[in-house]
Structure formats: C-alpha cells, structure tokens
Chains A and B, each alone.
Chain A
Amino acid sequence: MEKSFELSGKIGIIVVKGSVDALTAPHLATFISEQIAAGHTRLVADLAGVDYTSSAGLRVLLGAVKETRALGGDLRLANIQPDVKKVLDLSGFTSILKHYADRDSAIGSYGG
C-alpha cells in the first residue's frame, strides 16, 4: 500500500493506493492520525487506487471518521472502486460516511 498527503486549499487529501487490509491498515491509521495531529481535520480520502479492503481497512476508516468529527471535521471518500464499494455497502458504511464520485466533488462538499 502507498499513501501520500497533499493540500487542496484547507482540505487535506489522503491518497491511498493498493490494499487496505490487516497487513497495511496499521500504517494507514498512523499516517491519518499524524495528519489530524498536524491540524488537518477536514479530510478527503481518494481511493481511486484502492482495489481491496477487508475488515481491518473498515476499522481504520471508521476510526479516522470518529477522530476528525470529534474535532469538528470529517473524513469523506472519493473515487471508490467497485470491489471496495461492495464491501462498504454490505457493511453499511456508505450510509454513515459521505462519499463522492470524484475528488473535486468531495472537496467541494466542504463548501468554502
């Protein structure tokens, strides 16, 4: 799994590639926590390059959502690939997380 961070105005973009699973999830969790600790609480996770997630990946996403929302921010998802969408749908995640077709829509959802 690869991960990187960039800013689009005041919105932090976390770009993830590869599998988010039990072997990689702890690294992603630490990476997201570091961004939040640095003051980036309005986040977009761009999942265009994520082809797989398991329960461990779901736990990371939920943890990040809780962490950012507790600080008045959010974690919103963009570019979810079909196999990942299946898992998110079946686990009810798409009803508790905001998700968008592309990165610009996710960034735009935060308004000004």
Chain B
Amino acid sequence: MAAPKKLALVIGSGSVKCAAALGIQRVLERADIKLDMLVGCSGGSLYAALLALGYPTEKIAEMSSSLWTHDLTARPNRRALLQAILPGIVKFDERFSLRDDRKVNQRLEEVYGQHSFEEAKIPLYITATDFMTGEMVVLEKGPLLPAVRASMAIPLIFPAVKSEGRMLVDGYLADPLPVGVAIREGADIILAIGFEATNQSRLSSLGRYAFQFTSVMSNNLLKANFAFHNLAHHSEVLLVVPEFEERVRLFDTEKIPYIIQVGEREMEKQLPYLQQLLAA
C-alpha cells in the first residue's frame, strides 16, 4: 500500500490578507482533511503559528484582530532621523527602523510569548531572511515569539531581530511564498496561498515610494520562485489566490470575516481535486 500523502499549507506574505488561510482551514475541517505541516512567511507566520498550535479559526480571527492594529506603526523611532542624518555620531546599524517596535513586541508577546515550536500539534516552519546574506532562514525550534517577530520584520519599518549571530528580517525578502520549504520537508501536495503586493495608486510620500519599490521587487521574486518550484519538483502545488472585490489595506482587520469568506470560497473550488488527489 502506498504511503499516505503528506499535505502542506504554505501561507505567503500578505499582512491581514493572510487571514484567508483560516477560510482554507475551515473548508479542510468540514471535509475532515488534516494538514501534515504548515509553513508561514511574514503575515502568514502569524496565522501558520496559531493554526499549528491548534487554536480554532474563530479564536485566531479574534486574536489577530486585536494583535494587528494601526497603532503598531504609529509611534516613530525618534532616533532614526538622527541616525539617518548623522550616521557617524548617532550610530547607524543593521537594526535601523523608522518605527518604534515596543508596541508590536508587546502584542506579539501576549499572543505567542508562552508558546514554542515544540508545542505545535502540526509541524511548523517559519521563514525569515538573513539580512546580511539574503539567505532564507527556516525557523522550526524554540520559542515562537522571536520567530514570528523576525518573519514580519519589514525592513525600514521594524528593526531586524538578532538570532544566533544573524540579523533576521521579513521572510518575504527571501521568498514571499516559500513553497520550497514544504517540498524539502517531503510534502506531496502543497496548498499555497499567496498574495501579490498591492501597487500604490500614487507615489505621494517617501513611505509610498518605498512600498512601491519593494512591492515591485517582491512580486517579481514571488513569480520567479513560484515558477521554479512548480517546474523543478514532483510535488503537486495547488495555488490559492484569493480575489478580493473589496480593497484590503495593510491594517484592515475589520475585514477579517470577509477575508476568511474569500479564502473559503477559493478553497471550495480546489476541494474536489484535493480530495481526488488524496484518494489516488
């Protein structure tokens, strides 16, 4: 008898849009399909971690709504301006950020502070990027808090996270949809939920300019990596790309119920084929 197929869910970067993964999980639960591993990148790591810990989707929606709010980036890092203008005097280093990260650290502490990878009911992999080499770093052991924090350390916005001698930043810089991690861990079937970064309608500020610049690069990186992983491996990749009719901005957590609904709708489309694959 053939070995049972290993099913992975890979949640790519996409801030609050990653809540669509909860819609996928709801469809899988209704069909009594269990995941064998979870991979999360950036915003996707927030959800991958909570799903792996076994929280119900309703609870995760509630937790992420109170975690990911606009005031996370409200407080500027006052030192940053001086660092930028006088890098020799006010020491400029790899932990430079325009925003103060105390609030985000506190919120993440409340949700993930007591948890570790070892507690996960489903094997969990969180990706970050070694800022000094560009390599993807897959985190899979120890406390969850630094892993999630590193995975979502958007350069310029939040400071990098120091870990075992490396400076870790947001996983999307290495791969916005790290399907390769699931392939390496032996997944036969991979549900990949990915999001292209939204283009700015107007480049009317330095922030928007920087976002557009990074969006262009990360979208091209997403396509290049995804093409490679689709073609170079035997694993079957089922791409879930939620189409949002309503505009979803970075901190639109009030839209989480809608986002989950869209995720459910997209997963429903894939379900018959997934069931066939699992039965084959």
Contacts and interface: CB of A to CB of B under 8 A. Distances in A.
Given A55-B230, A86-B241, A22 B236 contact: yes
Contacts of A91: 223, 226-227, 230-231, 239
A83 B269 contact: yes
A95 to B, nearest CB: 8
A54 to B, nearest CB: 6
Of listed B196, B230, B239, B276, residue having the most chain A CB within 10 A = B230
Interface in A34-86: 52, 54-56, 58-59, 62, 83, 86
A43 to B, nearest CB: 20
Contact of B231 (A19, A22, A52, A62): A62
B230 A23 contact: no
A92 B280 contact: no
Interface of A: 19, 21-23, 52, 54-56, 58-59, 62, 83, 86-87, 89-93
4 pairs of A and B residues whose beta carbons are closest in the complex: A55-B237, A92-B227, A55-B230, A92-B223
Given A90-B194, A92-B224, 16 more contacts: A21-B236, A21-B277, A22-B236, A22-B277, A54-B238, A55-B230, A55-B235, A56-B236, A58-B230, A86-B243, A87-B239, A87-B241, A89-B223, A90-B223, A91-B227, A91-B231
